[in-house]
Amino acid sequence: MQIYKALTPLQALSFDLDDTLYDNAPVIEAAEQAMLSALAKLAPQSNQTSSDFWWQHRLKLAKITPEIRHDIGRWRLLGIEAGLLELGIAQAEAKKVAQQGYDAFLDARTRISVTPEITGLLTKLAKQYRLIAITNGNACIKKMGIGELFEFSLQAGPDGKMKPYPDMFQLAAARLQLNPAQILHIGDSHRADVMGALAACCQTAWLDHHQQPVSTLPHIRLTDVQQLNALLLPIS
């Protein structure tokens, strides 16, 4: 752990989810495959498509409506529908199949297991701090089996613009009835997590997986999320 700025007293810890509490790459790979398999069964015209085909349709949507990026679930759903329309499927059917394809993606996307070590860390931290989650993704802490340790989870789209916009951090502080400076946000993305939290006047802990040089420093830099054990205060 490297300390760049002394932490001031904390009341709450805010966690990013993807690639902070677990490795997200295999989760997304499995979810993409589940989506492709579902679409191939529901719409044989899509049988030869790849993830890139659907990604290109999402990019086209984002060029037309940039704000759609802030709700990645809806963005993906509409991208699937656009792809199905291009494959010649009638709009009503495309809408129905897109929803089923997205449901298959989301079902696999939310099948996430955190390690016992992570659960143990969160359990200890929850005894001394209020825990929340702030994510740009659509992972579900309840389905992970850690929901009871958190007061709530905020998700880009339904709860505001994605990080690094300060919307969700500000909403979290309001819901917790805390000054943002009483919240330490922990995340792996310097741009989304560090810059977003700092913009909202929160304190920041950057889980730096790749030892990247940056011009704007967090309060602390972590190489292992278990280093948060240092935040635990002795219990008398």
Q: Which residues of 82-110 are buried (b: 16+ CB within 10 A; e: fewer)?
A: bbbbebebeeeebbbbbebbbebbbebbb
Both tokens of 214, joined, read: 């940056």
Catalytic: which of 16, 18, 159, 167? 16
- Report CA-CA distances (Å) from 93 to 21, 89, 102: 38, 7, 14
* Number of residues written out for the chain: 236
Residue showing tokens 């979290």 = 172
Residue showing tokens 């929901």 = 147
Q: How many C-beta neighbours within 10 Å does residue 22 have?
A: 18
Cβ atoms 225, 121 nearer than 8 A: yes
**Separation of CA 36 from chain center:** 22
Measured distance CA(187)–CA(196) in Å, rounded:
10
Say whether 16 is catalytic: yes
Residues designated catalytic: 16
